[in-house]
Amino acid sequence: MPSDLKDLTVKGLWSNNPALVQLLGLCPLLAVSTNVANALGLGLATLFVLVVSNVSVSLVRNIVSNAIRLPVFVLIIASAVTCTELLMQAYSFELYQVLGIFLPLITTNCAILGRAEAFASKNPVVPAAYDGLMMGLGFALVLVALGSIRELLGTGVLFADMQLLFGTRAEAWRCIVFKDYEPFLLAVLPPGAFIFTGLLIALKNRLDQYFASKNVKPTASDAGSKRARVTGVIR
């Protein structure tokens, strides 16, 4: 694997993770992560839109002048989302009904416009597609992690309703982890989403500290992003 692709992998999945470090796309992240099936569904939809929009933006990056850059990007993203919505409605109707309003909201997921602006508009198609894939995977992984925690603590069950994504055979995947579990409502309600997102960020930072103390890194340049709302240095 060429080193720049490896770099993109690390950035997308860990060091620049859209959900845990850049804190982008929090609205769908917090709203949909009530169980694994919903989280995975929205994660995959976001991943798909991110790759499509990154590729399209990268393809037109030399044609589009600076002045109309943003409207064109928004247009591309909105079209990709609408296509995804139509396709999901046609071939996975139950899931479409569950994700409901959150599909159109992918348009407003800043992670997607952010990647179009920060990466795809400056790079060739292949790295842009790969960046979209890795950023999308990073986002989907956090969604699924949050979904599992909330589903497990909230209901004592894991992988319920997976048939919405994988057909009837997935009904058997539902596993009852705790028997006679008294539901812990806070985990399913919105405050639980905030609390567990915070804990995940804390865990990530703690792991970073641990790794940093094990092998002394080259001094981190502070010339990263100047945005106020980040939980790490975006490089």
Footprint of other proteins (CB under 8 A): 34, 60, 63-65, 67-68, 71-72, 75-76, 78-79, 82-83, 86-87, 89-91, 93-94, 97-101, 154-155, 161, 183, 185, 188-189
Alpha helices per DSSP H over the chain: 3-10, 26-32, 36-60, 69-91, 93-99, 110-118, 125-155, 163-166, 185-188, 190-214
Q: How far is the CB of 218 from other proteins (least distance, A)?
A: 43
Phi-psi region of 234 (alpha: psi -120 to 50; beta: other; left: phi over 0): beta
Nearer to other proteins, 7 or 171 (CB): 171
SS3 158: strand
Of 17 and 56, the one with the shorter C-beta distance to other proteins is 56
By C-beta, is 4 or 94 nearer to other proteins?
94
Q: Residue 17 or residue 54: which is nearer to other proteins going by CB?
A: 54
Minimum CB separation of residue 57 from other proteins in Å reads 11
Residue 101 exposed, middle or buried by CB count within 10 Å (0-12, 13-18, 19+): exposed
Give min distance, CB of 5 to other proteins, in A.
29
Residue with tokens 């002048």: 65
Beta carbon of residue 148, minimum distance to other proteins (angstroms, whole number): 16
